[in-house]
Amino acid sequence: MFNYFSAFDIQQKGYLSQSEFNKLLLSLDDQITKEQSLQIGSVIKPSQVIVGQENNSLSSKKRNRSTINGNEIPLNKSPLENLENKEQQKQIVETNQNKVENQEYEQNQQKENYDRNNIANNFSQNQMQSSQLNENLSQEKYLEMIRLIEDLEKIKGELKDEIEIVKQKSKKQEKRNELKKLEIKYLTEQKALLEGFQSN
């Protein structure tokens, strides 16, 4: 779920250039926008919900349905059966939503591993350039980089503690909302730290 910009990334890539900083900030903007759009509570499109449907003709469906208080219900089912159907549909929606979240988590993990492997593989080729760049940096800039790494790791640690607290909550809907908010909070704080470092 979370794509951390950690001390490992900074140390392996060496000191980030201006263009690399810009790309990183744009990537964070994209992640924040994406997570905000995925936040639980948005309208779920009918195409996202998989519910078993009968192969009745349109006319037969109309004959078997009526409305109560504007809500369409089957005439041949009792209120108890309708309530059970609603519970089943709710469970199906939650199951499908969990599948999507798990799939997104796996994809993010694969991407993070792929990015880390690329950094490690390319590190030896860029080591000479990084060494030359490091020699030109002032001691003050080096200390700022160390503080940035420490701040990022501190935020990540605090976020993990908050996640563990949220996981103890009983309501699934509330838990998913809180986790999504924490992810957006982390990305926003991470972006602010990087922008502050870039401006110095």
**Contact by Cβ (8 Å): 104, 96:** no
- Mean predicted confidence (pLDDT) in 152-180: 73
Q: What is the pLDDT of residues 126-151, one digit of tens each?
A: 555 555 555 555 666 777 777 777 77
Q: Which residue has the higher pLDDT, 4 or 155?
A: 155
Position 136 scores a pLDDT of 58
Say yes or no to pLDDT of 1 above 50. no
- Mean predicted confidence (pLDDT) in 175-179: 72
CA dist list (Å): 93 to 46, 74, 86, 90, 173:
10, 21, 10, 5, 12
Confidence of residue 187 (pLDDT cuts 50, 70, 90): confident
**Contact by Cβ (8 Å): 64, 71:** no
Nearest-angstrom CA–CA distance, 58 and 55: 9
Where are the domains positioned within the chain?
17-40+53-199
3-state helix, strand, coil in the chain (%, to 5): 75, 5, 20
φ, ψ of residue 44 in degrees (nearest 5): -90, 125
The pair of structure tokens assigned to 178 is: 């809180």
Q: What is the pLDDT of residues 85-101, one digit of tens each?
A: 777 777 788 787 778 87
Position 120 scores a pLDDT of 56
Nearest-angstrom CA–CA distance, 118 and 122: 6
Share of the chain above pLDDT 90, in %: 0
CB under 8 Å, gap of 24 or more: what pairs does 117-123 form? Answer: 119/9, 119/12, 119/13, 120/12, 123/12, 123/13
Beta-bridge partners for 159: none
Nearest-angstrom CA–CA distance, 23 and 59: 56
